[in-house]
Amino acid sequence: MKIDSTMKKKKFFFKQQLLVLMAVLCLASCKKDDENYLGTLEVQIALKEGLKNISIADLTISVLNTVDNTKVEGQSDSTGNYVFLDLPAGLYNITVSETREEANYALSGSVTGIQVKRQEVSAETLTLDAVEPNAGLVIKEVYYGGAADGYASLFKDQFIEIFNNSAEVIFADGLYIANLYGETGNASSKHPITEELDISKYVYADFIDQIPGDGTQFPVQPGSSIVIALNAVNFKEGNPKEAFAVDNTGADLERYSVDWRENQGLTGNAYFDLENPAVPNMINIYMNNGLWLFDLYGTSVVIFRQDNAFTENDIVTYVKEGTTSEVFLTKISVDTILDGAEFLENSGAAAYKRIPTTVDSGFNFLKADGGAFYSSMSMQRKIDEVRSTRFGRLLLQDTNDSSVDFESIASPNQRGYDGITY
């Protein structure tokens, strides 16, 4: 049978229309499905009790999705309110950190693990504190994750750098440094330390070291640092991947603990614990684990001073839920802490904080999705460009919020701020 060409054209045109209609319906359906997974988050800023005459308008509110690490921002209105529309359902961290130069303080605060539900409005109040920039010793860098040199250095090259953020010479003699114990939020983590221990008044350390001296031996000049290494060794020497290794021979002090452990009836480990006779040793105060300074998967470190010596009354027995193993930790009063920095395994690890928000309201990480151990990456405090320019000297940012004060860098930058002028 012969088919009329006009009929063919009509059929072809009908098929085209049908395909277009199907595509439109599909897009509409997909859009509707996408909308089903979106929610709204209303953030209301408030001031900590006792603060007065401080504007909460025009503050930048940052909201970080802990699943895909996307960040969106909004400006608070005159009442301190902002509504985030069309956020994918999930968990979010909310942060505000803004310096008020005219009054020499920073408004800072954060909340973590806020759930946005699909097709619902979630409301959260974010309370801000007015923090005076630290004019004393601050943690400038913590290199804890290990080197990317084919396991030649392992974690033996760890170090911490402490910076003098004041305009006066500060003697570091007697300063304590501690690593706080607890799971970091990695894949095997199940039980935050806060399930068993209250961190509002005390934090709990698995190692504590102290800088020796009589009060005159370790001066730190304004804008300069003091470096404490796990091992004051040149790990570049004889290393086929020396570009990824660290030379710690310029450290001011090292943590050598073989003698201390053996005096406690324990076994030292000379493979991990090396001694450079040319570099003074830290005073070992307490150790639950003698191999490293800081946790490879994320460390929480504090520096502090206290007049009283530690005693057996300061030892706390910690038993993780679901186990019978006892871990002996030393408690440190939060009131004695000069500075603290919280680093966890990834952006979704907020539940595993080991430092109270009164010391560090946030946390940071080497990589947002984790897995940065043996990567040579390090955590470094940012330069406060505005205040440095204003006061004509190098000043580091300190808002008591590691999520904004620190940044992850590709390789250690030991004494990297030396010589910077304003």
More confident: 361 or 27: 361
The CATH topology of domain 37-131 is Immunoglobulin-like (2.60.40)
pLDDT of 1: 47
pLDDT of 328: 95
Tokens representing residue 399 in the block: 């808002």
pLDDT of 283: 97
SS3 label, residue 244: helix
Cβ atoms of residues 375 and 146 within 8 Å: yes
Query: How sure is the predictor about 273, in pLDDT bands with cuts at 50, 70 and 90?
Result: confident
pLDDT of 12: 45
Mode of pairing for the β-strands spanning 121-131 and 38-47: parallel
- Average pLDDT in the 52-77 region? 92
pLDDT(33) > 70: no
Amino acid at 168: E
Rg (CA), the chain: 26
Cβ within 8 Å of residue 323, ≥6 positions away: none
SS3 label, residue 143: strand
Tokens representing residue 370 in the block: 């984790």
pLDDT(305) > 80: yes
Give 3-state DSSP helix, strand, coil % of the chain, rounded to 5: 15, 35, 50
More confident: 144 or 289: 144
pLDDT(417) > 90: yes
pLDDT(10) > 50: no
Distance (Å, whole) CA 56 – CA 54: 6
35: number of Cβ within 10 Å: 11
SS3 label, residue 334: helix
Determine which of 2-11, 140-149, 392-401 has the lowest per-residue pLDDT on average: 2-11
Distance (Å, whole) CA 282 – CA 181: 20
Distance (Å, whole) CA 193 – CA 353: 8
- Average pLDDT in the 117-137 region? 89
pLDDT of 290: 58
Range list for CATH 2.60.40.10 in the chain: 37-131
User: Residue 36 gets which letter from DSSP?
Assistant: H
What is the per-residue pLDDT across 232-241, written as a single tens digit (0 to 9) for each? Answer: 999 999 999 9
Tokens representing residue 191 in the block: 């039980």
- For 248-308, give the DSSP string: -TT-SEE---HHHHHHTT----TTT----TTSPBPEEEEES--S-SS-TT--EEEEE--SS
pLDDT of 152: 85
pLDDT of 293: 74
Quote the percentage of the chain above a pLDDT of 70.
89
Residue with tokens 């102290």: 210
pLDDT(68) > 70: yes
Distance (Å, whole) CA 261 – CA 258: 5
Residue with tokens 């913590």: 142
Q: Which is nearest to 307 in space by CA: 277, 336, 341?
A: 336
Work out the burial of residue 69: count CB atoms within 10 Å of its CB; fewer than 13 is exposed, 13-18 middle, 19 or more buried: middle
β-strand partners of 42: 83, 123
What is the per-residue pLDDT across 352-369, written as a single tens digit (0 to 9) for each? Answer: 999 999 999 999 999 999
Amino acid at 344: L
pLDDT of 4: 56
Query: C-alpha angle with apex 88: 84 to 91, nearest 5 degrees?
Result: 90
- For 65-107, give the DSSP string: ETTT--EEEEE--TTSEEEEEEEESEEEEEEEEEEEGGGTEEE
pLDDT of 151: 84
Distance (Å, whole) CA 123 – CA 109: 16
More confident: 146 or 101: 146
Cβ within 8 Å of residue 326, ≥6 positions away: 317, 318, 319
pLDDT of 265: 80
Distance (Å, whole) CA 401 – CA 364: 9
What is the per-residue pLDDT across 161-206, written as a single tens digit (0 to 9) for each? Answer: 999 999 899 999 999 999 999 999 998 999 999 999 999 999 999 9
Mode of pairing for the β-strands spanning 300-304 and 176-180: antiparallel
Determine which of 8-12, 33-37, 211-215, 369-373 has the lowest per-residue pLDDT on average: 8-12
Mode of pairing for the β-strands spanning 170-171 and 60-65: unpaired
